[in-house]
Amino acid sequence: MSALMPDSLADFSLPPTASTYHPNGTFFRRILIDNGEDPEHLVLSEIEQTLFDFGRAIVKDHHNIPDSLYEKLEKRFSETQMIQIIACAGQMYATNIFVTTARVDLDEILLNYRKKD
């Protein structure tokens, strides 16, 4: 698995160093926790899993996304929706790169939502 790939949906951000936590991943953990989900044990629907797999494929190698993933998504989403999904994924990826490179500190409101090591 790529070094950029998280082990769970709740950790979908670039990997933290031992001394930092990334705001994007922790922000999404907060959403999951505040909605009663356990970020470490998510139960995803078939379409959620497909979207998750698509996100992983984009991060791993956006030049070699399996046709089977596109086929599953195209059965469910319109062309406009696919553009929106891909644009959102690109924005999140770019944001993660920026946050990591700029060494953005975690906002205090997110401190209690960090993944426990």
Q: Sketch the domain layout of the chain as residue ranges.
A: 10-113
Higher pLDDT, 116 or 20: 116
What pLDDT, on a 0 to 100 scale, did the predictor assign at position 40?
85
Fold classification of 10-113 is AhpD-like (1.20.1290)
Per-residue pLDDT band at 21 (split at 50, 70, 90): low
What is the residue whose two structure tokens read 């790529």?
2
The tokens of 24 are what?
């994007």
Cα 70 to chain centroid distance, Å, stands at: 18
Please state the pTM of the whole predicted model. 0.71
What pLDDT, on a 0 to 100 scale, did the predictor assign at position 8?
45
Please count the CA atoms within 13 angstroms of the CA of 37 that sit on its side-chain side.
16
Q: What is the pLDDT of residues 25-60, one digit of tens each?
A: 788 889 889 999 988 888 899 999 999 999 999 989
Higher pLDDT, 107 or 74: 74
